[in-house]
Amino acid sequence: MGIVDVKQLTKMYKNNRGIERVTFSIEEGEIFGFIGPNGAGKSTTIRTLLNFIYPTSGSATIFGKDIVKDAKEIRRHVGYLPSEVHYYDDMKVIDLLTYSASFYKVSDRRLKQLAERLDLDIYKKIEDLSFGNRKKVGIVQALLHEPKLLILDEPTGGLDPLMQHTFFELLLEERKKGVTIFFSSHILSEVQKLCDRVAIIKEGKLIQVETIEHLTKNH
Ligand code: ADP
Ligand code: ADP
Report whether 153 contacts 79 (CB < 8 A).
no
Ligand number with the minimum distance to the CA of 201: 1
Backbone angles phi, psi at 23, to 5 degrees: -130, 125
Residue 72 neighbours by CB distance under 10 Å = 9
Q: How far is the CA of 89 from the centre of ligand 2 (A)?
A: 22
Give residue 95's pLDDT.
Answer: 94
- The C-alpha atoms of residue 74 and residue 61 are separated, in whole angstroms, by 9
- The C-alpha atoms of residue 20 and residue 6 are separated, in whole angstroms, by 12
Q: How far is the CA of 39 from the centre of ligand 2 (A)?
A: 8
45 within ligand 2 shell (Cβ under 6 A): no
**Sheet strands side by side (includes 197-202):** 78-81, 149-153, 180-185, 31-35, 197-202, 205-211
Report whether 192 contacts 25 (CB < 8 A).
no
CA 135 to each of CA 138, 158, 161: distance values in angstroms, whole numbers, following the listed order: 5, 7, 14
Tens place of pLDDT per residue across the chain (219 aa): 899 999 999 999 999 999 999 999 999 999 999 999 999 999 999 999 999 999 999 999 999 999 999 999 999 999 999 988 777 788 999 999 999 999 888 888 999 999 999 999 999 999 999 888 999 999 999 999 999 999 999 998 888 888 899 999 999 999 999 999 999 999 888 888 899 999 999 999 999 898 888 876 665
CA 50 to each of CA 20, 32, 44, 107, 188: distance values in angstroms, whole numbers, following the listed order: 17, 17, 10, 25, 24
Give residue 215's pLDDT.
Answer: 76
- The C-alpha atoms of residue 98 and residue 94 are separated, in whole angstroms, by 6
Q: What is the ipTM of this complex?
A: 0.75
- The C-alpha atoms of residue 108 and residue 104 are separated, in whole angstroms, by 11
CA-16 nearest atom, ligand 1? 26
Give residue 219's pLDDT.
Answer: 56
Q: How far is the CA of 75 from the centre of ligand 2 (A)?
A: 22
